[in-house]
Amino acid sequence: GAEEPAQHFADAVRWYLLYVSPAWIPTRFDADGVSEVLSRFFGTLRNVYTFFALYANTDELDPREFFVPENKRPELDRWIISKYNNLV
């Protein structure tokens, strides 16, 4: 719908403001910077998701069939999970 582009642009502005400087430092708005964030970050994110969705659906992948208990995962995976758990 018409709201989708506005929502995507709002997300790009939020990401841009977090990316260019710490939140407590005043930042000048730069439309070109937002456009770059929109194309580079969100474009890449969309492409990665599209690629995954295409092949996951083609292969009828069910992630529940591939569950690996945390204690059997590689060290890097466990570290990422611990960092994530500290955030939430």
The one-character DSSP state at 30 is -
| Nearest alpha carbon to residue 41 among 4, 12, 8, 77 | 12
Amino acid 75: pLDDT: 96
Amino acid 5: pLDDT: 58
The one-character DSSP state at 42 is I
- Structural domain range at position 51: 3-87
| Contact criterion met (CB below 8 Å) for 11 and 45 | no
Which band of pLDDT confidence, cut at 50, 70 and 90, is reported for residue 3?
Answer: low
Amino acid 6: pLDDT: 65
3-state secondary structure of 73: coil
| Nearest alpha carbon to residue 70 among 85, 56, 49 | 85
- Domains contained in the chain, number: 1
0.75 exceeded by pTM: no
Amino acid 54: pLDDT: 86
